[in-house]
Amino acid sequence: MGESETIFDIDHVEHSVGGFGGHAFRRLTHVSMAAIPLVYYTRGDDIAGYFSVGLDELVSYVFLMILVIETVRLRFGIVIVGQREYESKQISALAWGAFAVCLTLLITDMEPFSSGTGIKSGIYGIPLIFGLTFVDPLMGEIKRQKQDMRLAITTGLAVSFVIWVGCSFWLGTPLWICILLAPLTVLGELPRVKYIDDNATMILFPLAALLILSPFL
């Protein structure tokens, strides 16, 4: 078995710093990231104004800060509670997730994706990020506890469609976009690759499709 497959199939509780508590902390952190787009689209301008920068600048500054911290972490092989042991030698899931979330916020704040005001301006950003924050830990736990990939995919698809179609009713996300992009969120969970975490691909796959479809929006 190759190294990348070994990493994919390991018991993440056993290999998490802090054991089950660290694993639970990582899952909780993952789900709590759902607050990011809600705060961004409702209070983002106020927060950016507090630092006397534009909203897009604030997002870029946050990511650059995370990038610097991640570089230092890798330089010294540091892993914190909730991270896996192998992350001492490769870019962490948290950093990959931060990159994907920041990229989503920047892109979906541009034309033709930006429309409406307040929470309504998150018609694409919210379902993209919610897909990561809710579908990923759910599928991960099913795979860990049930060892059943088919069940994980089926459940992930169901939740992904609930998120995307729910955002269609809540925010006005075009329904046809929801139907096309919901499966891509789940597809982003499946690749067995070593250096790119699914925290990135679960957003980057549907985000790339959204960019390709942008002329039709």
Q: How many whole angstroms separate alpha carbon 128 and alpha carbon 11?
A: 27
Q: 16 phi and psi, to 5 degrees? A: -90, 140
**How many whole angstroms separate alpha carbon 109 and alpha carbon 124?**
9
Residue type, position 214, single letter: S
The pTM of the full predicted model, rounded to 2 decimals, is 0.90
Distance CA 5, CA 124 (A): 32
> By C-alpha distance, which of 11, 12, 212 is closest to 93?
12
Q: How many CB atoms lie within 10 A of CB 141?
A: 15
What gap in Å lies between CA 217 and CA 203, rounded to an integer? 19
How far apart CA 143 and CA 135 sit, in angstroms, is 12
Tens-digit pLDDT string for the chain (217 aa): 343 343 444 556 655 665 667 667 878 888 999 999 999 999 999 999 999 999 999 999 999 999 999 999 999 888 877 677 777 888 988 899 999 999 999 999 998 998 788 999 999 999 999 999 999 999 988 987 877 889 999 999 999 999 999 999 999 999 999 999 999 999 998 877 777 888 999 999 999 999 999 999 9
**91 Cβ contact partners less than 8 Å away, ≥ 6 residues apart:** 70, 74, 195, 197
Q: What is the dihedral of CA 57, 58, 63, 66, to 10 degrees?
A: 140
Tokens of 182: 């919901």
Beta bridge partners of 84: 16
CA atoms within 13 A on the CB side of 215: 1
